Structure 1
């Protein structure tokens, strides 16, 4: 039975305060009645999150913010000299020892936390110390795949990001076209998986397959500006970025498609909605 993970267990016994669940090897975990369903029957299988509590395995139908091997943004609910307790999204808080804190964790503040199993104690633990741009093998992505991002921090070359709660990647500054904030959620796309196993991400889709998104953005901006937008294919990348939060490359693709569809007229210094 893997603590810190969601798994399917079998209902082995019903007691006054809840249920005893077991895995295929017969290892048991207790779940309180308040997290169980009245329709549960002995022998049925249920999906639960397993955690440790005072040396015992317990289970809950609540969804944890992150499982072992995942990142999540968590709020500190109590800070002590020995460590900090983080809101894990379940009845049990996640403990981060003081030595696993990149900087002192303060009560009420939000932090990016990685959940792992401590080899020395066997306990599910959190840390705010993790490598930037680590190398990976056998990644489940192809270039262009859409992913969910957590913004980590800005550096000289761009933004470090968490990809799908599991991997760390990089968005280069040249691919950033809007204001970003640490710990915020964004959508992104796999740009390149490098030979060294590092992941480059972009915030905007590449190619013509997502040009409709940019076309609609331009149309919305035209409608907001009485059918006129003082941008053209001669405008600088900075002007386009400030006005539309997109690259000049995507802008040119979008207005070219809109012109072909006879939706806009492209003039020397502006575009006009027809």
Structure 2
């Protein structure tokens, strides 16, 4: 049985308080009656999340914000000298010891939290101290793949982000074409998987095969502005970034395609729908 993970267990005992669930190795976790939506029989299987409570394994059908080995944004519900308790999305709060806090955690505030099993205690534990851009030996991604991002914060090179709740990646400052906020959620794309095991992320799909995405963004903005947009080949990258949240390179590719298809007219200081 894996504490801090969602897994499929078998109903092995039943009483008025709930079910005892067992895995293939005969490890047991108790599922309180409050989480039982429908009656089950001995031998039935259930998908549950297993957590620890007072030294015992318990199960819940609630879905946690993150599992062991994952990141999530959590709100502090209580801060004590010994540590902080975070809303984990389940009945049991997640504990972050004081020594695992990058800075003092304040009740009511939101933080990026990583969940792991503490080697000394064997307990599911949280931390706000992260390794900076760790190197991964193998990654389940392909270049160009769309991914979910959690924005960690700004660095010297750009913005560090959590990719699909498990990996730390980097958006270089030159690839940031919109306002980013710490702890926000974004969609991103795998830009490159480097030989040193690090992950570069883009906020936009790239390449000519994705140019229709940028063309649609431009057409949507033209529709909003009654068919006229005060941007052209001579516009600065900053102007394009501010109005369209894309690079000048992608802007020029997109309007070039729209022009060739006779969708827009490119003037000296603006573009116009035909």
Residue 65 of structure 2 is aligned to residue 60 of structure 1: no
For 1:133, the equivalent position in structure 2 comes to: 133
Distance of 2:235 and 2:165 partners within structure 1: 38
Please state if 1:39 is matched with 2:46: no
Deviations 1:244-263 (A, max 9, x none): 11011111121122122221
Deviates more, 1:246-255 or 1:168-177: 246-255
Q: What pairs up with 1:70-149 in 2 under 5 angstroms? A: 70-149=70-149
Q: How does 1:207-218 map to 2 (within 5 A)?
A: 207-218=207-218
In structure 1, runs of 5+ residues without a counterpart are: none
TM-score of the superposed pair, with normalisation by structure 1: 0.98
Query: Runs (4+) of structure 1 moved beyond 4 Å?
Result: none
Residue 157 of structure 1 corresponds to: 157
TM-score by length of 2: 0.98
Higher alpha-carbon deviation: 97-106 or 36-45: 36-45
Deviates further, 200-209 or 51-60: 200-209
The answer to whether residue 181 in structure 2 is matched with residue 167 in structure 1 is no
Aligned-partner SS, 1:149 = strand
Query: Which residue of structure 1 aligns with residue 250 of structure 2?
Result: 250
Moved more, 43-52 or 208-217: 208-217
Q: Deviations over 1:121-169 (max 9, x none)?
A: 1000000001111100110111111111011111222001111000011
Deviations 1:186-219 (A, max 9, x none): 0101111111111111101111232222112111
Q: Residue 195 of structure 1 aligns with which residue?
A: 195
Task: Give the match for residue 220 of structure 2.
Answer: 220
Partners of 1:37 and 1:151 in 2: CA distance: 36
Provide the residue aligned with 1:20 in structure 2.
20
User: How big is the alpha-carbon RMSD for the aligned residues of Structure 1 and Structure 2?
Assistant: 1.0
Cα distance in 2 for residues equivalent to 1:211 and 1:52: 49
